[in-house]
């Protein structure tokens, strides 16, 4: 019988591998593996060299690199280690990867091309743990290695949870989104976020988004169907249309927690219908209805932002009709999204002044919102509510809701039946508090209410004098009946027992920590512990957007 050492190395290794079943290697289970090899080696001293060679090759077969920060020095050392193993290296794993300073794409490509050139027998490349570098660099690394090693059998990448919309003023056509959708659904079925969607507010209050998805209903339907694990979504890039709302509602998204419903004033519907002819029969822009249908797909929604620009609320631009966000929408929200915590229905600045009120948003909507067990932050633009709805929102909350709550309500308009709503509701609210023999339910809970005056027209001073006298009397009674409540009322140009306007009113309970601290508080003239007066032209502030954090 020939000695094992006289056989060709490849054949000897195969025989050695069959001579005794070795335990599989798991993690750091090296002792068991070495013990088995030692038992094999003891069968014959002739096997000593071969078993040593066999084990060495097993050791050199795979290489794992844990590099916290890559520098030029570490890159050279890594190349040296790879070169030493080049004849045997089959598996290369990167446990972590980051740069002290982000290198150029060309530099990354050159380094990985050189690195992979020293791994002629590489079969498996594992990049699963690389989750903290831009996806662009992962693509460069993959391309560089695959170009050098066409026989690569396995590439392991971390699952994609976030994709970025191209940043180049893109009109996304049907064909492009179909390709993007096919690629993402194939390679990233667990996609959670679409980032890179840029919105901005113009000087006149119009809301712009340079990215537009010029897609048909079939493509949108496929998109909605493909990503049930979306966590956040911004509607502003998609067509604002009834049929698109209906398609979105067909496919539940149980992981969606933040939704932004916006219609861009930059959208060109005429061009959209020309380039996607099959959309000409859709109910788009101002003709769109039933926006509440999208809420059916979001049972675990926690944050909702509805942004209505100045053009849209004034009905001079066909991007959106704000009346679809009235009672029907809020009732559906309370029914379909029971876990909602934060709600904003607003123009971009909420209190930029002179905004048109949502006539269809009444006390019925506030009562529906009051029933929600988790809703703690609400900001609403001017609407058609009364003091009864405001008190319902404050008092009629579930007993299980013990967290701190903050409500920001804009009231009034330039004209129409709700023009003086702010002054009427402020007086009625203070009257209710002053006449209450017992403490209202909300007083014992942490609550902050901020009422904003949406009417920018100045008052007649003769009208404001009796209003001011009555207001002072009510404030004294409220402080007497409810000493724990904190009141702050902002006036515009108070002089000689009259004023040009009331800017806002803040009502805070003793246990609340939220405050509506405005520039008026810092720079205004305090008349007493409640009233503060601002000097100069009538201005309004976009402060409520800082109160609701998403």
pLDDT tens digits for range 277-316: 888 888 888 899 999 999 999 999 999 999 887 655 555 5
Cβ 459 vs Cβ 417: under 8 Å: no
Indicate the burial class of 417 (C-beta count within 10 angstroms; 0-12, 13-18, 19 or more): exposed
Phi and psi angles of residue 380, each rounded to the nearest 5 degrees, phi first? -125, 140
pLDDT tens digits for range 391-436: 999 999 998 888 999 999 999 988 888 999 999 999 999 999 999 8
Q: Which residues contact 379 (CB under 8 A, 6 or more apart)?
A: 343, 344, 345, 346, 350, 407, 408, 409, 544, 545, 547, 548
Picking from 167, 172, 297, the residue whose alpha carbon sits closest to that of residue 239 is: 172
Per-residue model confidence (pLDDT) at position 143:
74
Higher pLDDT, 429 or 69: 429
> Token pair of 306, please?
């509805």
Per-residue model confidence (pLDDT) at position 222:
86
Picking from 26, 18, 9, the residue whose alpha carbon sits closest to that of residue 88 is: 9
Is residue 486 within a helix (H) or strand (E), and if so which, with residue range? strand 486-492
User: How does the average pLDDT of the chain come out, rounded?
Assistant: 76
Picking from 209, 259, 257, the residue whose alpha carbon sits closest to that of residue 233 is: 259
Q: What is the mean pLDDT of residues 23-50?
A: 57
Distance CA 407, CA 392 (A): 12
Higher pLDDT, 50 or 254: 254
Percent of the chain with pLDDT over 90: 33
Q: Indicate the pLDDT class of residue 44, thresholds 50, 70 and 90.
A: low
State how beta strands 531-534 and 486-492 pair: parallel
pLDDT higher than 50, residue 161: no
pLDDT tens digits for range 175-222: 555 666 666 666 566 666 665 455 555 544 455 566 677 888 988 998
Distance CA 537, CA 532 (A): 15
Q: Quick count: other Cβ atoms within 10 Å of Cβ 426?
A: 24
Per-residue model confidence (pLDDT) at position 410:
92
Distance CA 527, CA 472 (A): 12
Q: Map out the domains of the chain as residue ranges.
A: 4-22+32-60, 67-157
Which of 57-71, 220-234, 251-265, 314-328 shows the lowest per-residue confidence on average (mean pLDDT)?
57-71
Higher pLDDT, 389 or 316: 389
pLDDT higher than 50, residue 245: yes
Percent of the chain with pLDDT over 70: 58
State how beta strands 199-201 and 207-209 pair: antiparallel
> What sign does the CA torsion over 93, 95, 97, 100 have?
negative
Query: Token pair 């053009």 is at which residue?
Result: 311
Distance CA 175, CA 481 (A): 67
Distance CA 128, CA 126 (A): 6
**Three-state DSSP class for 117?**
helix
pLDDT tens digits for range 137-152: 666 777 777 776 666 6
Higher pLDDT, 8 or 174: 8
pLDDT tens digits for range 524-549: 788 899 999 987 655 444 443 333 44
Cβ 245 vs Cβ 239: under 8 Å: no
Half-sphere exposure of 474 (CA within 13 A, CB side): 20
Per-residue model confidence (pLDDT) at position 442:
93
Distance CA 430, CA 413 (A): 21
Q: Quick count: other Cβ atoms within 10 Å of Cβ 72?
A: 10
Tally the residues of the chain. Answer: 550
Distance CA 478, CA 472 (A): 10
Distance CA 345, CA 330 (A): 10
Q: What is the mean pLDDT of residues 486-501?
A: 89
Per-residue model confidence (pLDDT) at position 548:
41
Q: Indicate the pLDDT class of residue 63, thresholds 50, 70 and 90.
A: low
Q: Indicate the pLDDT class of residue 255, thresholds 50, 70 and 90.
A: very high
Cβ 78 vs Cβ 112: under 8 Å: no
> Token pair of 116, please?
């992979």
pLDDT higher than 60, residue 107: yes
Distance CA 141, CA 114 (A): 11
The CA distances from residue 167 to 91, 197, 209, 298, 458, in Å, are 36, 8, 11, 28, 44
Any idea what DSSP says for residue 41?
H
Picking from 317, 284, 343, the residue whose alpha carbon sits closest to that of residue 205 is: 317
Distance CA 345, CA 410 (A): 10
Distance CA 543, CA 188 (A): 39
Distance CA 217, CA 276 (A): 10
> Token pair of 131, please?
């989750």
pLDDT higher than 90, residue 446: yes
Maximum CA pair distance of the chain? 122
């Amino acid at each position: 019988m020939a000695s094992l050492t006289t056989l060709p190395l490849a054949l000897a290794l195969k025989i050695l591998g069959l001579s005794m079943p070795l335990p599989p290697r798991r993690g750091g289970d090296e002792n068991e593996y070495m013990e088995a090899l030692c038992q094999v080696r003891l069968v014959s001293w002739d096997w000593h060299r071969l078993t040593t060679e066999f084990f060495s090759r097993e050791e050199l077969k795979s290489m794992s690199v844990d590099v916290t920060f890559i520098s030029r020095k570490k890159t050279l050392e890594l190349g040296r280690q790879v070169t030493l193993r080049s004849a045997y290296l089959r598996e290369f794993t990167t446990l972590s990867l980051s740069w002290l300073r982000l290198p150029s794409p060309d530099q990354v490509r050159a380094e990985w091309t050189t690195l992979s050139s020293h791994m002629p027998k590489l079969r498996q490349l594992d990049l699963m743990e690389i989750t903290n570098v831009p996806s662009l660099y992962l693509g460069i690394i993959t391309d560089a290695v695959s170009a050098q090693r066409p026989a690569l059998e396995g590439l392991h990448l971390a699952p994609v949870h976030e994709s970025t919309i191209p940043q180049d003023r893109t009109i996304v056509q049907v064909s492009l989104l179909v390709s993007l959708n096919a690629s993402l659904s194939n390679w990233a079925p667990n996609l959670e976020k679409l980032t890179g969607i840029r919105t901005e507010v113009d000087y006149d209050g119009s809301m712009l988004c340079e990215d537009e998805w010029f897609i048909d209903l079939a493509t949108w339907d496929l998109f909605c169907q493909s990503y049930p694990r979306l966590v956040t979504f911004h509607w502003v890039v998609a067509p604002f249309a009834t049929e698109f709302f209906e398609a979105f509602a067909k496919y539940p998204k149980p992981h969606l927690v933040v939704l932004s419903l916006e219609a861009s004033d930059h959208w060109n519907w005429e061009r959209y219908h020309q380039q996607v002819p099959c959309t000409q029969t859709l109910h788009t822009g101002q003709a769109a209805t039933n926006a509440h249908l999208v809420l059916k797909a979001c049972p675990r929604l926690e944050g909702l932002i509805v942004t209505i620009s100045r053009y849209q609320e004034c009905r001079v631009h066909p991007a959106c009709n704000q009346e679809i966000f009235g009672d029907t929408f809020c009732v559906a929200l309370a029914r379909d999204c029971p876990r909602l915590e934060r709600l904003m229905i607003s123009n971009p600045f909420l209190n930029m002044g002179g905004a048109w009120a949502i006539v269809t948003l009444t006390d019925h909507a506030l009562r529906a919102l009051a029933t929600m067990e988790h809703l703690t932050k609400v900001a609403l633009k001017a609407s058609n509510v009364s003091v009864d709805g405001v008190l319902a929102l404050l008092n009629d909350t579930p007993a299980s809701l013990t967290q701190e709550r903050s409500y920001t309500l804009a009231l009034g308009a330039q004209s129409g039946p709700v023009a003086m709503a702010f002054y009427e509701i402020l007086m009625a609210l203070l009257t209710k508090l002053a006449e209450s023999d017992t403490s209202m339910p909300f007083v014992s809970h942490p609550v902050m209410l901020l009422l904003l005056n949406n009417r920018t027209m100045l008052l007649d001073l003769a009208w404001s004098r009796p209003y001011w006298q009555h207001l002072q009397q009510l404030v004294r009674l409220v402080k007497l009946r409810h000493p724990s409540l904190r009141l702050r009322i902002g006036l515009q140009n108070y002089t000689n027992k009259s004023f040009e306007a009331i800017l806002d009113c803040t009502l805070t309970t003793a246990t609340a920590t939220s405050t509506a601290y405005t520039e008026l508080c810092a720079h205004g003239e305090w008349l007493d512990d409640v009233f503060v007066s601002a000097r100069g032209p009538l201005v309004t502030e976009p402060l409520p957007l800082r109160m609701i954090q998403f």
